[in-house]
């Protein structure tokens, strides 16, 4: 991994961690508001629960992209495919 790729990955990680941070804060406010207001948590579109669910799914997809399907994984798969397609030269 060269410097530019490392710098890009650090920026993506920073953006991802900021998203997690804000998700936790907003989720805490929504859950605490529901608990103090109604005494229980209700799954409702208008209370923000659906929005938090969608936001959570988006963060999960970003996490998979950052930590599982990163550039090293892509490089390994490309090298594996190139090795498969190489055929020996017979003289």
Parse the chain into domains and list their residue ranges.
3-85
Which range among 33-37, 72-76, 85-89 shows the weakest confidence by mean pLDDT? 85-89
Query: What is the spatial distance between Cα 68 and Cα 91, in angstroms, rounded to a whole number?
Result: 42
The burial of 47, by beta-carbon neighbours within 10 Å (0-12 exposed, 13-18 middle, 19 or more buried), is given as: middle
Query: So what's the pLDDT on residue 42?
Result: 62
pLDDT digits (tens, 9 = 90+) for 8-63: 888 999 999 999 999 999 988 887 877 777 776 665 655 667 888 889 999 999 99
């Amino acid at each position: 991994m060269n410097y530019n790729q490392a710098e890009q990955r650090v920026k993506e990680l920073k953006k991802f961690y900021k998203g997690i941070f804000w998700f936790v804060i907003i989720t805490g406010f929504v859950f605490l508001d529901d608990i103090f207001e109604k005494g229980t948590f209700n799954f409702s579109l208008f209370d923000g629960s659906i929005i938090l669910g969608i936001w959570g799914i988006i963060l999960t997809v970003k996490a998979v992209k950052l930590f599982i399907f990163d550039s090293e994984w892509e490089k390994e798969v490309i090298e594996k495919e190139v090795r498969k397609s190489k055929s020996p030269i017979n003289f």
